[in-house]
Every structure is written in C-alpha cells, then in structure tokens.
Amino acid sequence: MKICVLPGDGIGPEITAEALRVLQALALPCELNEALLGGCAVDATGDPYPPETQRLAQEADAVLLGAVGGPQWDGLPRAQRPEQGLLAIRKQLGLFANLRPAILYSELANASTLKSEVVAGLDILIVRELTGDIYFGQPRGIELRDVDGRQERFAFNTMHYCESEIRRILRVAFEAARRRSGRLCSVDKMNVLETTQLWREVAIETAADYPDVELSHMLVDNAAMQLVRNPKQFDVIVTGNMFGDILSDQAAMLTGSIGMLPSASLDADGKGLYEPCHGSAPDIAGQGVANPLATILSVAMMLRYTFAQQDAALRIERAVKSVLAKGYRTADIYEPGMQQLGTRAMGDAVLAALQVD
Ligand code: IPM
Ligand code: MG
C-alpha cells in the first residue's frame, strides 16, 4: 500500500496526523510519502503542485489529503492559488469520480439546522463528476474587450462535456446505486444548457444497462429545493462538476456537521485521492481543536475503495461510531452534556476504540 500524504494548509496537518495514527494502528503494511500541496507548496516552491509532489502522487496507489487554501494566498494570481494544486492533481491523476456521502449519525441528530424528522437516518451519496465541465473547459479568460465601442473587462468560461465523460461517471453512479437502494437521481439543467441536455440523453441510454436501477431526473434548481424540503427522497445523486460542487456542500450541511464527512475521488482503476469534505478552516488552524473524524473516515474509504480492505474500513467506521456513542465531541459537534475533546484527544479516543474492537 503506497500512500502519498499531503497534509496541506490550515488544519490539514493536525487532522492528517490523527488519520495516520489510526491507519498505523491497523498494522497493515504500508509505505507513506509526505509531500507539499496547496499554499504550503506555493510558499516553499512558488507552485501549488510542485514536480516532486506530482512524482510521489503518480507513483502512489492512493493519496491522503488534509485540506488546502487560506486567506493569506487570496491575493495571488489564479495559477498560484492553492486551489489550483487541488484541481491540477485531480486532472493529472484522472480522478473523475468524486463520491461524497452525506450521513447523519444518529448520535448527532440534533446537529442539523433542519427538523430532526426531516433528516433522521439520512444517508445519501452524491456522485460528482470531477475533471470536466466549466471547471476545466477552454477557452476561458479575463481580458479587455471592445463592448459597444468601449473597452471593458470581459470574462468568460466554457462549459462542455463529451458523451464518454458523461457515460463513465454515470456508470460509477449506477454501480453505486445498485449496491445501495437501487435508486439514482441524475441532476441537470437540460431546459437551458446543451451540455446537460447531452447529460440527460446519455443518462437515459446508460440506464438500459442497469434495468435493476430506477433512474429519475431532476433540474438542479429543483434538486437544491428538494434537498432541504425532503432529503430522504434521494439515495444516490449524480451530477456534473459545477452542480456537484454546490449540491455536495448543501447535502453535507443537512447533517449539521461537515466535520464528519469523508470523500473519495477515483480514477478508472481504483486509484484514489481521499480527503475530508470540509476545508482548511484557517480560523482554527494550529489550535488543536479541529475535528479529525472526517479525515479518519477518509482513511476508511481509502481502505475500502483502493485497497479492498473492507474489514479494516469497517473497524475504523465502528470505532468512530463508538466514540460518538461514548459522548466524545470536538467543538464543531459539541452539545451540552457531552465531553469536549481536542484534535489529539479525539484521535486517542478512536485509537482506544480500535483496540477494544
Ligand atoms: C471542493 C472545493 C474545490 C472545488 C475548490 C477548493 C477548488 O470546493 O472540493 O468542493 O470547487 O472543487
Ligand atoms: Mg466545494
């Protein structure tokens, strides 16, 4: 198991350290190589995804990422922003399939801002296309142009998808739906955008290979509304890069605790990048209070999807559930009556739970 570890910025190093302690406690044979990505890489080399990191990431079977970004890099030109490192590694490694589960742990039922009957038992999976769409479409730019006889700043991006890109992400989503409840909702904006008209056509064609999965379609604005009105109507949602970015944040927050949610970004052969859904939280970086559970759960996803170590993945997930059941909480999920822990102590609690399992 060759793993490239990219702690990144903000709380990234703190939460990654706990996730690695959990991984090492499982005593699986693994080789870890740490490298720079994001703002820390910009500071050290001027490049958010430096060549040495590229080499280690390409040689690895899996990448574990903390988080990238922070306000200190806000003024930089786009090419040097930390986020470009994340976009570049996704593109270079061909990580087109982004799996973002939104699960409401019963122990955290009160964390959601929605009524508990609306979200109790919530368990949905967003499958987001990750290497195409308006994120990567050319041409793009910002320049001075002649508009009605005067010079103005003019900015443009291009949204495009080819059918093979759409088909491969739909297949991932149909397979996931098949393993779950057998229901898949494809989200588009086919009433306005040609790209998503093609998306819907390809979704309907692909459905012919999955007669056991019930496919439905929803326009993205309605999907945003339905996610807060009645999120439990969904099981697996599949959508493009831009809509998936937005809907996955929304779905994550239905659980009230973005600090709990892991994610996987997979290529066609099972190689993957695993990271928590939350960001680098610069406001609490270095204080030892961040919630490491999403990163620990990302290690579980890594063991399951890249290394086919289902038992080890389940052990980690059981350990996380058991620390929640014991009443241990980091600040982001704290409720009165519970026991508040910092990042390291939460890591210790998960390690202790692993030992007794
Ligand atoms: C995400 C993030 C990234 C994205 C940013 C940091 C580039 O919001 O992973 O959802 O937009 O994909
Ligand atoms: Mg996002």
The pLDDT profile of the chain, 357 residues, written as one tens digit per residue, is 999 999 999 999 999 999 999 999 999 999 999 999 999 999 999 999 999 999 999 999 999 999 999 999 999 998 899 999 999 999 999 999 999 999 999 888 888 899 999 999 999 999 999 999 999 999 999 999 999 999 999 999 999 999 999 999 999 999 999 999 999 999 999 999 999 999 999 999 999 999 999 999 999 999 999 999 999 999 999 999 999 999 999 999 999 888 899 999 999 999 999 999 999 999 999 999 999 999 999 999 999 999 999 999 999 999 999 999 999 999 999 999 999 999 999 999 999 999 987
Which one of the ligands is nearest to 250 CA? 2
Q: Does residue 155 lie within any of the structural domains?
A: no
Quick check: is 156 in a domain?
Answer: no
Angle at 289 between CA 332 and CA 341, to 5 degrees: 80
The Cα 356–Cα 351 span in angstroms is: 9
Ligand 1 atom closest to Cα of residue 248: 10
- Largest alpha-carbon pair distance within the chain? 74
pLDDT at 76: 92
In a domain, 219, yes or no: yes
What phi and psi, each to the nearest 5 degrees, are found at residue 147? -120, 115
Probe target for ligand 1 pocket from 9, 81, 86, 130, with the most ligand atoms within 8 Å of CB:
86
In a domain, 140, yes or no: no
Find the catalytic residue in 9, 105, 188, 189.
Answer: 189
Asked whether the beta carbons of 135 and 124 are under 8 A apart, the reply is no
Catalytic residue check, 269: no
CATH number at 283 reads: 3.40.718.10
- The verdict on whether 245 is a catalytic residue reads yes
> Do residues 249 and 285 both lie within one domain?
no
Same domain, 125 and 222: yes
Q: How many domains does the chain have?
A: 2
Q: Is the overall model pTM greater than 0.75, yes or no?
A: yes
Residue 237 within any structural domain of the chain: yes
Distance (Å, rounded) from C-alpha 278 to C-alpha 39?
Answer: 16
The pLDDT of residue 357 is 77
CA of 201 to the centre of ligand 1 (A): 27
Query: Cα(16)–Cα(143) distance, rounded to whole angstroms?
Result: 40
Ligand 1 near 87 CB (within 6 A):
yes
Q: With a 6 A CB cut-off, is 83 part of the ligand 1 pocket?
A: yes
State whether the beta carbon of 246 lies less than 6 angstroms from ligand 1. no
- On whether both 242 and 276 belong to a single domain, the answer is no
Q: Are residues 275 and 235 in the same domain?
A: no
Out of 61, 249, 267, 348, the active site residue is 249
Catalytic-role residue among 245, 267, 334, 348: 245
pLDDT at 53: 98
Q: Are residues 193 and 248 in the same domain?
A: yes
pLDDT value at residue 111? 84
Strand-pair category, 328-329 with 339-340: parallel
The answer to whether residue 153 sits within a structural domain is no
Per-residue confidence (pLDDT) for residue 256, from 0 to 100: 84
**In the listed set 260, 278, 296, which residue is the last one of a domain according to the structure?**
260
For residue 84, how far is its CA from the centre of ligand 1 (angstroms)? 10
* Whole-number pLDDT of residue 136: 97
Span from the CA of 107 to the centroid of ligand 2 (angstroms):
26
Question: Residue 124: phi, psi to the nearest 5?
Answer: -120, 160
Q: Among 260, 290, 320, where does a domain finish?
A: 260
36 and 76 in a common domain: yes
User: Is 91 in the active site?
Assistant: no
Distances (CA, A) of 152 to 78, 142, 158, 321: 20, 10, 20, 56
Contact 98, 128 (CB under 8 A): yes
Distance, CA 39 to ligand 1 centroid (Å)?
Answer: 14
Domain final residue pick, 260, 286, 307: 260
Rounded CA separation 280/269 (Å): 29
66: its two tokens: 């903390």
The predicted structure's pLDDT at residue 83: 94
> Residue 78's pLDDT is what?
87
Instruction: Please indicate, yes or no, if residue 198 is contained in any of the structural domains.
Output: yes
Is residue 249 among the annotated active site residues?
Answer: yes
221 is an active site residue: yes
Strand ranges of the sheet holding 123-129, from the earlier edge strand across to the other edge: 31-34, 2-8, 62-67, 272-276, 262-266, 97-103, 123-129, 236-239, 183-188, 214-219
Residues 50, 169 within the same domain: no
Q: Which ligand is nearest to the CA of 135?
A: 1
Structural domain for 192, as ranges: 99-135+161-260
In a domain, 232, yes or no: yes
Residues 84 and 104 in one domain: no
In the reported structure, the alpha carbon of residue 243 is separated from the centroid of ligand 2 by a whole-number distance in angstroms of: 10
- Same structural domain for residues 6 and 83? yes
Residue by residue, DSSP assigns 77-136 as -GGGSHHHHHHHHHHHTT--EEEEEEE--GGGGGGSSS-HHHHTT-EEEEEEE-S-GGGT
Give me the pLDDT at residue 241, please: 98
Spatial contact of 159 and 135, defined as CB atoms under 8 Å apart: no
Residue 294's nearest CA partner among 108, 39, 53, 42 is 108
